[in-house]
Amino acid sequence: MKKLKATIHKFSGHWPLKLRWENQRSRDYHASHVSSVSETWLIGKPEGAENFAMRYYKVGEEGFSRKEQHPYDHGILILHGQGLVHLGDSDHPISQGDVVYIPADMEHQLINTSQEPLGFLCIIPARREKNGAVVWADENIVFD
């Protein structure tokens, strides 16, 4: 039986606008149709998570995530800021404390509509199918 290990990434930032954690894996998220987004992986393969991964995203002033859809569902918790979440064919206002469930295969995008950063946690499956193979969600990502 595999021995499970617990992991704590101690908060080392300043609530609510400078969120940081010890031993984090961060990068500026560069992808087509993305503006002013950073990504921090908090829980994933290195922590031994078998079933889910947790990421923190920060979307800068007037920034937005990529409009995309995935074959898996995920959940989002808005930590700070305000904006819009595009779900399917409609947009919905979001702000601190809101929780969003995104079903599998639903088109979605988060848009910052304010002059303050929009920050949120995003929880996804730890592993997924990609090009016919099962891969870890945080595999082959180059962090800053």
List the catalytic residues.
122
Q: Which two tokens stand for residue 105?
A: 């295969």
Q: Which two tokens stand for residue 8?
A: 């704590």
Please check whether residue 7 is in contact with residue 44, taking contact to mean a CB–CB distance below 8 angstroms. no
Q: Which two tokens stand for residue 18?
A: 């400078």
Q: How far is CA 51 from the centre of its chain?
A: 16
Nearest C-alpha neighbor of 123 from the set 98, 97, 90, 101 = 101
CB atoms < 10 A from the CB of 55, how many? 22
Please check whether residue 125 is in contact with residue 93, taking contact to mean a CB–CB distance below 8 angstroms. no
